[in-house]
Structure 1
Amino acid sequence: MPRKPHALFRALFAAIVLTVAGCGGVSLPTETAPMEPGNPSDGYLIEPGNRVRVIVFNEPSLSGDFTVDPSGNLAMTLVGNIPASGIGPKVLGQRIETSLKKDGYLQSPKVAIEVQSFRPFYVLGEVRQPGEFAYTNGMTVLSAVARAGGYDYRAWEGEVLLVRMIDGKQKEYRATERTPILPGDIIKVPQRRL
């Protein structure tokens, strides 16, 4: 009859397995997210559904708030539909200036664009209500987590990650609660290790 392993041996084996399993985790990025808040409009590409304020200097009748339609166009009085999706506010302003000038409405128009509603940000992981949330200018990781109902009891609060699109590529950073967020950012709150 074969001998049964001793209870101490089983306990030691279980402790080793749990220790090794706890050591193998996801490697976290070493680079910290930028702390300058930045202007959310810088580098922002307009998309369908965005609301923008068009300011035509000295022409209040042409100025106003407009929504980019589902096909990516901005419909304005006098100039009609202007392609707006996939370009920045500065380029959109230049397109409107060109159209106003070309059609003979104004000799030297000056147009400024302010984005009024941005793409949402996302909070994932160990928060009470993960999901998509409307961006508000000046937000930080802490205010984003608060919008998601706060940290869950399993949250590893000191290891929050921020994922941001930089030059068309996703980049992952370590973030603190004071780290500013931008439209489209993804905040990941990992689970605390044992």
Structure 2
Amino acid sequence: MGRLFTCLLLCSLAVLSACAGPPKVDQRFVQALTAPYLLDSGDRLRIVVFNQPSLSNTYTVDASGFISVPLIGDVQARGKTTGELETTIAARLRAGYLREPSLTVQVDTYRPFFIMGEVRAPGQYPYVAGLTARTAVAIGGGFTPRAVQDVVVISRQIDGTIVEARVPADHPVRPGDTIYVLERWF
């Protein structure tokens, strides 16, 4: 009789937990969505130095967070906004190469996102603007029959550390995020 009661209690708790509302999203995740975009490895940048076609080019942020620009060498890009990188490059060009350098830095291609778990084609995919976890799942071939479809786990780098949170499936995805689609029990 005690085992039957324990089994019924556990089943009741499982049903009640499934009826709970969407999880509360970690405030750091919300703040990261409104914060300026910070460059990192894998971002491809278009840098145009006006009246200097030999310096204007597309550069990829390497694994150590640098881009290599002619004349001035390696420039730290990781953790900077495009505006901050513009300022850094202009200052280094001004220090011995150009009098008044005028340039722009734009993100040409964002670093990819990753999707794992209960999706038909897990892997690495190119980031597109306006991406949510649900559309990322669609890019990854859709949910498997065993997938939890209303909540996912997203891992995101925030202030140099990896932060994980359970979020609703309509939560926005940022470049570099890893999305994990959970398996349901029943």
Q: CA deviation at 1:123?
A: 1.5
Q: 1:124 to 1:18 in 2, by over 3 A?
A: farther
Task: Return the alpha-carbon distance in structure 1 between the equivalents of residues 9 and 118 of structure 2.
Answer: 23
Q: Spell out the pairing of 1:135-154 with structure 2 (5 A cutoff).
A: 135-154=127-146
Name which of 152, 159, 162 aligns with 1:167. Answer: 159
Deviation string, structure 1 residues 86-145 (Cα, Å, up to 9, x no partner): 24133322221012111132x222332112233321212211122222222222212210
**Cross-structure match for 1:6:** none
The question of whether the paired residues in 2 share the 8 Å contact of 1:127 and 1:152 is answered with yes
Task: Return the alpha-carbon distance in structure 1 between the equivalents of residues 8 and 183 of structure 2.
Answer: 17
**Cross-structure match for 1:91:** 84
SS at structure 2 position matched to 1:190: strand
**Cross-structure match for 1:63:** 56
Name which of 40, 43, 48 aligns with 1:46. Answer: 40
Mark the structure with the bigger radius of gyration.
Answer: 1
Of Structure 1 and Structure 2, the greater strand share is in 2
Q: CA deviation at 1:157?
A: 0.6
SS at structure 2 position matched to 1:86: coil
TM-score by length of structure 2 reads 0.74
The question of whether the paired residues in 2 share the 8 Å contact of 1:35 and 1:180 is answered with no
SS at structure 1 position matched to 2:147: coil
Task: Return the alpha-carbon distance in structure 2 between the equivalents of residues 35 and 97 of structure 1.
Answer: 30
Cα-Cα RMSD: 3.4
Q: Matched residues, percent identical?
A: 31
Task: Return the alpha-carbon distance in structure 1 between the equivalents of residues 173 and 11 of structure 2.
Answer: 33
Task: Return the alpha-carbon distance in structure 2 between the equivalents of residues 82 and 99 of structure 1.
Answer: 11
| Number of residues of Structure 1 aligned to a counterpart in Structure 2 | 178
Q: 1:35 to 1:46 in 2, by over 3 A?
A: closer
- Greater shift in the superposed pair: 16-25 or 96-105: 16-25
The question of whether the paired residues in 2 share the 8 Å contact of 1:36 and 1:180 is answered with no
